[in-house]
Chain A
Amino acid sequence: MSDELEFLQSAYLDDELDPDLRRSAEAAAASDPQKAEELRSLARVRELIAGLSRPAGPDFATEVLRRLAASGSRPAAWAFGPSLRWGAAAAVLLAASLGIRAAIRHRDEPVAPPPVALAPASAVATEVVEAAPRPPVAAEPVGPPEALARATPDPDPTGPPRLDPASEPDRSQLAAGELLARPGPHRLFVVSSVEGPPDLDEIAEVLKLTSHRDFYRLELPGDDRAEADAAGPVVFAAELDPAEVGTLRRRLEAAHPGQVGEEEAGSALRTELAELGRAVRLPAEPAAEVQFPQSKMAIRIPSVPTAPPTDRPADVGPPPIEPAGDVPSVVLIRIIGPPSE
């Protein structure tokens, strides 16, 4: 049965099909005992949900009025209804037409020349646009999708959820979402902080020095009530070349010995992060890594060549690094505090 026909099963139970589709659904179920049984079990599921009790709640009126009085809230001013909106538009048009008529009436009158510095109207407009400071991409946190922004209250819970606000989506948010959706290897580093709360700045610094691309700090919604970090948890996201992944691994391990876990970052996790995280773009400032040998050094004297263990030529120095491919990886870093008592 196709997906479309499968969906019809539930719609059939709910009497949400037109007569033709309804007949199709009935025929499908009647000709296939397995489908008929499935229909029965879906009806049973529906019955179980419908049979849940309807709890009676407390009286909210007293508490709501008390809180409104305490906060001094007042209803927002009347929004303009359709008639008022048309009235306002008409007033604007009237004013504009009066202005045009006045301009026509006075167009032949001598007027003082414009100041020298005054450019033509179109040029002024262009200048204004160009002169307007562009918001710094790196410093501007972007709101989470729609109704998720609780730190900054929901834009307007009175409208349907999940509808994009009128404002243009921020570039950082879009870029972070694009990064998380990118194909290729995806690694998740989970760093346990054994002493005190997670030091997010330290992780940001490590990434800044490691990556040659800008990266993202994704701030996730915190718990409304009892979450230790009220600002919400943070996950860092970056795109790193294979060599940079190795460097990051070493640096994290050096900062948190024995406390770094690594695994594949699943697509569900990345999707949720992209959906829920407030993205802040952070600049990369890559720094080369200088490694000092940790063990005794010795001069290796060439000995009598023996048969090479592999088909690799014997005189090419140390064994090659495990091939990591040349595809950049999307890397996520989550740092967590010590276990609570």
Chain B
Amino acid sequence: MTRNLDDFSLVEACRAGRSEAYGVLVGRCQGRIYPMLVRLLGSAEDAQDVLQDAFLRGFEKLGQYQGESSFSTWMYRIALNLAMSRLRKRKMRRVLRLLDTRRGRPAVDPPDESPASVPSHAAEQAEREALVEAALESLEPEHRAVVILKDFEGRRYDEIGDLLGIPVGTVRSRLHRARQQLRRRLRPLVDDESPAHSIHPDVEQALS
């Protein structure tokens, strides 16, 4: 029966002690949030950890949900915040690992960024994704988040600013810097001139 209720009615049912209603809410929004987390964190395992944690925290915070946005948007924000927290901690661990490496400890192999390691035009999608993923991994957490929210999720600048708590001008500058960095790291893929990849109607129209 709960499956036919709208989100806010389900939230009210949860507050009334019917926790099975929360399962319906989770089922409704997990598919929207999970891919974003995988791309933001670069790991399915981390994405699952974070999303599960987000759902648990969301349940505890249901009292704060006022229905001003959809439940999935509200959960999206929680999951994004937790993912950002994890990204920043990961960055710090990387810094410390670097420090340790300088003292002769085993280093983590950096991603191979040499042109020779880049697959040919006929490379499989999996290899291409691995390269893009490695390039994303090199970005600062804040830059990575903006790129994922814009280019992977297709959100507008004002939405991204709202989600990350930053002005639109900051979204614009971070996004541009991040894309420039990705452009340098993915040079062989970016320069790929195969017909399937060289047509950008919006750009060509503007330049014609």
Contact = CB atoms under 8 A, between A and B. Distances in A.
B165 A62 contact: no
A57 B30 contact: yes
A160 B64 contact: no
Size category of the B interface is 35 or more
Contact of A26 (B22, B54, B206): B206
Interface in A177-206: 188, 190, 192
Given A48-B132, A162-B164, A76 B89 contact: no
Interface in B11-69: 14-15, 17, 19-20, 22-24, 26-27, 30-31, 34-35, 38-39, 44, 47-49, 51-52, 54-66
User: Taking chain A's interface residues, is the majority helix, strand, or loop, or is none over half, making it mixed?
Assistant: mixed
A128 to B, nearest CB: 33
A125 interface: no
A52 B129 contact: yes
A9 interface: yes
B134 interface: no
A16 interface: yes
A250 interface: no
A55 B44 contact: yes
Nearest to B25: A61
B81 A154 contact: yes
B62 A76 contact: yes
A158 B24 CA distance: 20
A1 B44 CA distance: 40
Contacts of A16: 156-157, 172
A10 B176 contact: yes
Contacts of A11: 157, 172, 175-176
A192 B100 CA distance: 8
Interface in A47-65: 47-50, 52-65
A276 B141 CA distance: 13
Nearest to A22: B206
Given A41-B191, A68-B59, A79-B66, A221 B92 contact: yes
A339 B207 contact: no
A81 B66 contact: yes
B150 A162 contact: no
Given A40-B203, A45-B182, A157 B57 contact: yes
Interface in B179-208: 179-180, 182-183, 186, 189-192, 197-198, 200, 202-203, 206-207
Interface string A3-44: 100110111111110000000001001100000101111111
Contact of B103 (A153, A154, A220, A336): A336
Given A48-B132, A78-B15, A42 B179 contact: yes
A157 B78 contact: yes
A153 B60 CA distance: 12
Nearest to B89: A221
A79 B62 CA distance: 9
A224 B93 CA distance: 11
Given A60-B55, A73-B59, A336-B103, A147 B84 contact: yes
Given A64-B26, A269-B99, 8 more contacts: A9-B176, A12-B206, A39-B206, A40-B200, A42-B183, A45-B182, A154-B57, A161-B80
Interface of B: 14-15, 17, 19-20, 22-24, 26-27, 30-31, 34-35, 38-39, 44, 47-49, 51-52, 54-66, 74, 77-78, 80-82, 84-86, 88-89, 91-93, 95-96, 99-100, 102-106, 125, 128-129, 132-133, 136, 147-148, 150-152, 154, 156-157, 162-166, 172-173, 175-176, 179-180, 182-183, 186, 189-192, 197-198, 200, 202-203, 206-207
Closest 6 CB pairs of A and B: A160-B165, A76-B63, A75-B62, A57-B34, A49-B151, A10-B176
14 contacts: A10-B172, A11-B157, A11-B172, A29-B207, A42-B179, A48-B190, A50-B152, A52-B129, A57-B34, A57-B48, A62-B23, A79-B63, A162-B164, A336-B100
